[in-house]
Amino acid sequence: MKRTNVIALLVLGAILGLLFNLGPGTTRDFQAKVYQLIAPLLTGGSGIAKQVTQVRSGLKSLEELEKDNNGLKVENRELRATNQALRDTEHEVNRLRHALQYKERSVFKLVPAEILARDASTWWHTATINRGKEDKIDNDMPVITDEGLVGKTTTASQNISIVLLVSDENCKVAASVEGTREQGIVQGERVTTGVTPVLNLNFLSKQANLQPGQKVYTSGVGGVFPSGLLIGTVKSFRVRELDGQAQLTPAVDLSRLEDVFVVTGMTKGR
């Protein structure tokens, strides 16, 4: 047996012998001192256990918070989508109501139509609508919105038609300027894709001196476009060698066409 083990046994035997020889009171005092010595260890162990429990609880709370946060994010996205859908529906209802009101008070016989397609290469020149000969649509019929002139039909098939926009250089419209006796021809400009076109009012007198904001309407000359349709407003005026020319801002935002009307005639009594 190792020497250290022998010494440990002797010390243990001595302690046991001492305990047996001590009286009850002395034994309790000895036990109290032993407990006092090991109390910090017991207290420390209990504190560590509490801290571990708190950490676990904290981790659980973080997981729950993250789960709740993810749920709120999903709900927020759904609410945004629903809100956008409601706004789109409201816009559609208001647009259709406005169009219906315009049709009811218009002096023209109108056939409502939707823009079906527009080609990027001919964006400012033509558009395709979902009405044709089955809807009594023919060539050279004015196309308008409640804001003003859009153009005219050029090719009508059974169910669709091509519209030549007023911004195309081949669409020529006889026009007159409000508050004056000036008349001329409105013609579009050929522009590159992405450039918003302007309309030119040609063959004015050199003394016309038109001012920005003056309105220009169809004059009715030529038989295609009835008089009184708003074409645009004067943007600028200049004197050329032989005549005066005004640049116009189109009355209709041709970049955002959705619904249009084809003018098929005048209402009864007009």
Q: Give the pLDDT score at 143.
A: 97
pLDDT tens sequence across 33-52: 555 555 554 555 555 555 65
Same domain (yes/no): 48, 122: no
Residue 189 in domain: yes
Same domain (yes/no): 131, 46: no
Q: Residue 237: which pLDDT band, with cuts at 50, 70 and 90?
A: very high
Q: Residue 167: which pLDDT band, with cuts at 50, 70 and 90?
A: very high
Percent of the chain predicted with pLDDT > 90: 47
Are 109 and 255 in contact by the 8 Å Cβ rule? The answer is no
Are 108 and 263 in contact by the 8 Å Cβ rule? The answer is yes
Query: On the CB side of 143, how many CA atoms lie within 13 Å of its CA?
Result: 36
Same domain (yes/no): 128, 16: no
Residue 71 in domain: no
pLDDT tens sequence across 75-133: 787 777 777 777 756 666 666 666 667 767 778 899 999 999 898 888 889 999 999 99
Same domain (yes/no): 10, 122: no
Q: Give the pLDDT score at 23.
A: 55
Are 226 and 142 in contact by the 8 Å Cβ rule? The answer is yes
pLDDT at 205 over 60: yes
Which residues share a beta bridge with 149? Answer: 144
pTM for this prediction: 0.66
Same domain (yes/no): 14, 146: no
Residue 16: domain span? 3-56
Residue 198 in domain: yes
Residue 85 in domain: no
Residues 144 and 231: their CA atoms lie apart, in Å, by: 10
Contacts of 109 (CB under 8 A, 6+ apart): 263, 264, 265, 266, 267
Contacts of 239 (CB under 8 A, 6+ apart): 206
Same domain (yes/no): 132, 219: yes
Q: What domain count does the chain have? A: 2
Q: Of 56, 82, 97, which residue constitutes the final position of a domain?
A: 56
Residues 217 and 232: their CA atoms lie apart, in Å, by: 7
Q: Of 16, 41, 56, which residue constitutes the final position of a domain?
A: 56
Same domain (yes/no): 157, 220: yes
Same domain (yes/no): 140, 209: yes
Region 157-184: mean pLDDT is 94
Q: Give the pLDDT score at 186.
A: 97
Same domain (yes/no): 154, 34: no
Residues 175 and 198: their CA atoms lie apart, in Å, by: 15
CATH number of the domain enclosing 199: 2.40.10.340
Same domain (yes/no): 135, 215: yes
Least confident range from 23-32, 181-190, 226-235, 252-261: namely 23-32
Residue 192 in domain: yes
Q: Of 56, 75, 90, which residue constitutes the final position of a domain?
A: 56
Q: Give the pLDDT score at 70.
A: 79
